[in-house]
Amino acid sequence: LTARPPSAMATTGSSSAAWAAQLRREVSGHDCAIFLDEIDQHVRDDGFASSLRQFLDGVCQPTSSRVIVLGTTNRLELLPKDVVHRAEVVTFAKPEASHLAEMWAGHAQHLGVEELKHLAHASTRAAATGRDVRHCASLCERRTAIAWLNNQGAQGYCHGAAMANCPGPTLDSYVQCIRDRAE
């Protein structure tokens, strides 16, 4: 499926109508799934939300195909109530501390078992998700590498082998990132 929802920042009624028309053409005669990641970004546009309502009600669905619409969001409360009413909502619980510890162990391999437990508990208190873990692991690694290179006088550039002595991010930097994401 190549039909993409209009950007939430630059939508007009005509772009939403064009998207709806393209969507009908794309799915006509095809059994398929439409996946709308972070759907809450799109439904604030009244034109898009109206087209989605019509599609979910079957008014705009082609009779020659079966289509399932999947949307994800971490902020269900932002979706219009009537759109949520048309959907079957499946809720996934946030990861527990043991799951978060496993996630962190894959990213922060330089930390010890107790540090990973502490980080997992901090992540649980912040209601962190797997996406938060990946984001913070990546951000802290970049910041640590940049700081280390700047302290070495390498001015942000070096051959990959020169990074062998670069330390991993500190526990405190990971915890602060998780806390910042929770705010």
pLDDT at 9 over 50: no
pLDDT of residue 121: 94
Q: What is the mean pLDDT of the chain?
A: 81
Residue of 80, 181, 82 whose CA lies nearest to 130: 181
Least confident of 10-14, 82-86, 90-94: 10-14
pLDDT reading at 114 higher than 80: yes
For the entire predicted model, the pTM comes to: 0.56
pLDDT: which is higher, 7 or 93: 93
- Structure-model confidence comparison of residues 145 and 173, the more confident one: 173
pLDDT tens, 115-168? 999 999 999 999 898 889 999 999 999 999 888 888 877 555 666 777 788 899
pLDDT of residue 11: 46
pLDDT of amino acid 60: 67
Instruction: Using the predicted structure, report yes or no on whether residue 106 has a pLDDT greater than 70.
Output: yes
Cα separation, 100 vs 107, in Å, equals 11
pLDDT at 7 over 60: no
Query: Is residue 133 within 8 Å of residue 179, measured between CB atoms?
Result: no
Give the max Cα distance, the chain.
66
Q: Which DSSP category does 94 fall into?
A: P
